[in-house]
C-alpha cells in the first residue's frame, strides 16, 4: 500500500537520477530505437504487452560492470524466455555502439538507445550523461512489479530471475 504524503497524494521514491516510478502502477511508456541480432529496431512498451519485461538501464557499452551484467542476462535468457519474459537493456549509447556491443558479446536481446536520457528520467535512472544501473520488472499488463537500484552486475540476472519466478508462483496461487 502506498504511503500518503501531503494533500493525501502517494509519496514517491526519489533516486539520484530523478523520481522512481511507484510499484503497482503503470510502467512509464517508452519508444526508442535500438538493435537486436544485428538489425535496427524501434521498440515501445506496448510491444511487450502480454509478456513479462525485464527493463534494465546501464551506463555504457563495453565497460566492465555493464559487460558483466549483459553477459548475465544473456546467460539466463533461455530461462527468462521459459517464464514468458523478455529482457531489454537501455543506455545513452547510440545504436551503432549497441550493435558492436551485441556482436562482441553475442547478445540476443534488444539494446535500446536513450541519448538524451528522456526515458531514463521517467524511470528515475538518469544522471547526465549516463543512465544509472537500475532494473524494473514489468508484468504482462504493463504494471511495475519490482525495481532494483545500484545493482551488483555479476549476480543481478539471477536475482531478477528468482524474483520473477516468485511473482509468477504467487500469482498462480492467487488465481
Q: 5 near 22, Cβ under 8 Å?
A: no
For the annotated catalytic residues, the residue numbers are 66
Which residues are CB-neighbours of 50 under 8 A, at least 6 positions away? 140
Q: Exposure pattern of 82-95 as b/e (b: 16+ CB <10 Å)?
A: eeebbbbbbbbbeb
Q: 157 near 69, Cβ under 8 Å?
A: yes
d(C-alpha 6, C-alpha 75), whole Å: 45
Residue 148 CB: number of other CB atoms within 10 A? 16
d(C-alpha 175, C-alpha 31), whole Å: 32
d(C-alpha 155, C-alpha 107), whole Å: 18
Q: 166 near 83, Cβ under 8 Å?
A: no
Amino acid at each position: 500500500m502506498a504511503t500518503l504524503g501531503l494533500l493525501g497524494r502517494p509519496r514517491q521514491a526519489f533516486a539520484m537520477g530523478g523520481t522512481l516510478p511507484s510499484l503497482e502502477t503503470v510502467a512509464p511508456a517508452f519508444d526508442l530505437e535500438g538493435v537486436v541480432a544485428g538489425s535496427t529496431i524501434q521498440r515501445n512498451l506496448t510491444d511487450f504487452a502480454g509478456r513479462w519485461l525485464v527493463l534494465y538501464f546501464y551506463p555504457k557499452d563495453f565497460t566492465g560492470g555493464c559487460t558483466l551484467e549483459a553477459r548475465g542476462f544473456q546467460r539466463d535468457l533461455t530461462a527468462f524466455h521459459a517464464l514468458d519474459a523478455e529482457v531489454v537493456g537501455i543506455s545513452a549509447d547510440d545504436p551503432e555502439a549497441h550493435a558492436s556491443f551485441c556482436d562482441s558479446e553475442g547478445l540476443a536481446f534488444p539494446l535500446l538507445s536513450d541519448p538524451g536520457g528522456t526515458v531514463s528520467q521517467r524511470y528515475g535512472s538518469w544522471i547526465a550523461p549516463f543512465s544509472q544501473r537500475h532494473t524494473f520488472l514489468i508484468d504482462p499488463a504493463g504494471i511495475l512489479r519490482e525495481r532494483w537500484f545500484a545493482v551488483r552486475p555479476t549476480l543481478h540476472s539471477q536475482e531478477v530471475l528468482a524474483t520473477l519466478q516468485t511473482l509468477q508462483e504467487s500469482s498462480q496461487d492467487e488465481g
